[in-house]
Amino acid sequence: MYRTLQSHFAFFSQVRTQFATTGAIAPSSRFLAAAMTRFLAVRNTQIPVRILEIGPGTAPVTNRILQLLSPDDQLHLVELNPDFVKLIQTRFHSEANWAKAHHQTTIHQLSLQQFQSEEPFDFIISSLPLNNFSATVVDELVHAYFNLLRDGGTLSYFEYMYVRPIRKGLTRGAEQQRITHIEHRLAEQYRATGVQRDNVWLNLPPAWVQHHRKSEVTAQELKTNKVLVNA
């Protein structure tokens, strides 16, 4: 209970000052965390995998990932916010179920655009608030997702239900154009690589989880630096 309260306090303190990059009004529920890790949970446990979590925040999804780790798996966490990084590091040193996976986990304090890896990942799980970013940044992030994902690997990310339609209806000019670009970009990407969408009602607010799988076609698009949508 104390750990939960501490995480919630840290989360809400960051929301007040850095909503643009936090992008949420409450930590992810366990139901959302379960949906985000759906494909990781059913993978072949005999084969070690590489997992990349982006924007773990106070780490409710990380906690679920750790429950699913096999001994030879590798987990990388990319988190830009130094306060969240400190909280995550504290959990690895103070919680028994986290400490046992410490040697399998690497924390990177930087943006996804700055992150590089010599090997691709089997699973990428992202909590980045795409609707809060510029159209250019969203293009960069989506490109980075699939650059870091191995062929046949799975990307999972969430967005809050109906945020874009509401924003698009309430805004005009540059802001409406930004939202429209993001809407087109993500919709076209889902048509190209999407495999499943989960509705998570037991979350604040309710959320959609989008699951994508990288194919050989996707890999070829990246090699030729083609952008799927230019809205």
Domain assignment present for residue 187? The answer is: yes
| Residues 140 and 172 sit within 8 Å (Cβ to Cβ) | no
Among 200, 3, 196, 216, residue whose Cα is nearest residue 96: 3
Tens-place pLDDT, residues 105-156: 999 999 999 999 999 999 999 999 999 999 999 999 999 999 999 999 999 9
Give how many domains the chain has, as a whole number: 1
In a domain, 16, yes or no: no
97 in a structural domain: yes
Give the burial string for 117-128 (b: 16+ CB within 10 Å, else e): eeebbbbbbbbb
How far is Cα 190 from Cα 21, in angstroms, rounded to an integer? 23
CATH of the domain at 218: 3.40.50.150
Q: How many helices (H) and strands (E) does the chain have?
A: 10, 7
Q: What angle do CA 95, 129, 48 make, to 5 degrees?
A: 50
pTM here is: 0.85
Query: What does the alpha-carbon distance between residue 132 and residue 43 come to, in Å, rounded to a whole number?
Result: 32
Structural domain boundaries enclosing 73: 26-223
Judged against a pLDDT cut of 60, whether residue 10 lies above it is answered with: no
